[in-house]
Amino acid sequence: MNRFVIVLATLAVWSGMASAQEKIAVPYTRFVLPNGLNVILHEDHTTALVSVNIWYNVGSGREKPGRTGFAHLFEHILFEGSENVPEGKFDEWLEAAGGNNNGSTNSDRTNYWENVPSNALELALFLESDRMGHLLGAMSPDKVDGQRDVVKNERRQSYENRPYGMAFLTLDSAMYAPDHPYSWPTIGSMEDLSAASFEDVVEFFRKYYVPSNASLSIAGDINPDETRRLVEHWFSDVAGGEGPAPIDAPVAFLRQEKRMVLEDRVQLPRIYMCWLTPPIYAPGDAEMDVVASVLARGKTSRLYRRLVYEMEIAQDVLAFQGSGSLSSQFCIISTARAGHELTEIESVIQEEIDRLAIEPPSAREVQRVVNQYEVSFLDRLERVGGFGGKGDQLNAYYTRTGNPDYFNEDLARYKAISPTDVRAAIQTFLHDRHVILSIVPRGKPELAAGKTTTD
């Protein structure tokens, strides 16, 4: 069988899966402990693995000006031991059992997970319950100071000392008003991290790391009845707490175009063009995801083909819809080739946006993007654990929609998109009220796109 026939056969298999799975089935059991902990169980005996996944409804958006970086700081502190888990043993015990773990923080939530063999489920539940209910007894000013220094070094390495690393810290503060929860970075500021007292950190934990502000998902090779018994055993003694009120955030909007220049230790200038767009799952969110793919995802996309292949004026180009619970950002990013200017690149990007605002993409073009998304979506359903696996997705859907089994509704958003929907989204959201950031080599502000403005 030649490669062409193999490709056709593979596409036919995926097409058959998509048509056969008109209704995606991810059965689950949900219950709530008396202390308020939401629990979601999903049984999948494909492999002898279990994923324990917990979402805390606290991200950097829950912080306040002058005290930023706490949510991310706790992502580090929670791995440093609790009352019944000595420092360093969290990872050691999991690895000895054949498991692995990780965590992440963003503006909306903090997430921790463990993937373990099914016979080590109780170990993972013990570890998670101990740091939820018994962390403060093991926390000390010295431990907080140690992790504070780790986070500061992470900020230096990932942002301050990395080429183009300050881009999104600069963009977020430009796109949102100072009192908006998305205007400060998840990593926090050096000043806030330094100013945080031990008492500040303890107060933050007591307010947000309570069962009523968390959702625990357990997916994989489990017996639901036995798993419920284990959850009740390990988590029922954790004190409840009230949990925080919903975030009362101001509406995000831009009054006009805003141009900014950032000089950095880089060789080539790079342009960032960003717009405010609808929150995750709101009308327009999925459409802007498709717009990103049509414009600049993959080597056959419109901007990549024109900027990189045909005109050879850019090293790269990408676009994405960064979806958040309160607001989203749609960004197009491109790095100039040596000898070419950002103004030239910006002009081409705007031409392609304007073209799509007048003439929608072809049905074939949109269908290709939707098919690619569906393949990726179904591929994630093959995994129970880790970022984006079923355990993680059950928590994400529950936290954001109240329905853990939101798989069909989520996929349906994309499958319903037509070429005219793509055009309408561009007309609605890609207007001239946006932020354009030029990052240029130090001492060469003249390489920036257009004329710098301030608001």
**55 - beta bridge partners?**
111, 215
Contact 258, 174 (CB under 8 A): yes
Q: What are phi and psi of 91, to 5 degrees?
A: -70, -40
d(CA 384, CA 118): 12
d(CA 371, CA 293): 11
Amino acid at 204: F
Average pLDDT in the 285-300 region?
95
d(CA 133, CA 36): 13
**pLDDT 10s digits, 375-414:** 999 999 999 998 899 999 999 999 999 999 999 999 999 9
Whether residue 9 is predicted with pLDDT greater than 90 in this model: the reply is: no
Average pLDDT in the 97-126 region?
97
Position 243 scores a pLDDT of 77
Position 244 scores a pLDDT of 85
d(CA 34, CA 139): 26
Whether residue 2 is predicted with pLDDT greater than 80 in this model: the reply is: no
Position 242 scores a pLDDT of 80
38-43/214-220 β-pairing:
parallel
Whether residue 168 is predicted with pLDDT greater than 70 in this model: the reply is: yes
The greatest distance separating any two alpha carbons of the chain, rounded to the nearest whole angstrom, comes to: 68
Contact 44, 27 (CB under 8 A): no
Whether residue 49 is predicted with pLDDT greater than 50 in this model: the reply is: yes
DSSP 156: I
Q: State the first-to-last Cα distance of the chain, in angstroms, to the nearest integer.
A: 62
Closest CA to 48 of 361, 385, 275, 422: 385
Q: What percent of the chain has pLDDT over 90?
A: 88
**pLDDT 10s digits, 208-237:** 999 999 999 999 999 999 999 999 999 999
Q: Please tell me the total number of residues recorded for the chain in this structure.
A: 455
Closest CA to 455 of 200, 203, 174: 174
Average pLDDT in the 192-198 region?
90
DSSP 445: G
Whether residue 14 is predicted with pLDDT greater than 70 in this model: the reply is: no
Tokens of 123: 């170990």
Angle at 408 between CA 407 and CA 409, to 5 degrees: 95
Position 451 scores a pLDDT of 62
Average pLDDT in the 12-37 region?
74
Closest CA to 206 of 264, 256, 152, 134: 134
pTM for the complete prediction? 0.91
What domains can you pick out in the chain, each with its CATH number?
29-235 (3.30.830.10), 258-447 (3.30.830.10)
Mean pLDDT of the chain: 92
Count of helices and strands (H, E) across the chain: 16, 11
Position 34 scores a pLDDT of 96
DSSP 67: B
Contact 110, 56 (CB under 8 A): yes
Whether residue 415 is predicted with pLDDT greater than 80 in this model: the reply is: yes
Contact 77, 147 (CB under 8 A): yes
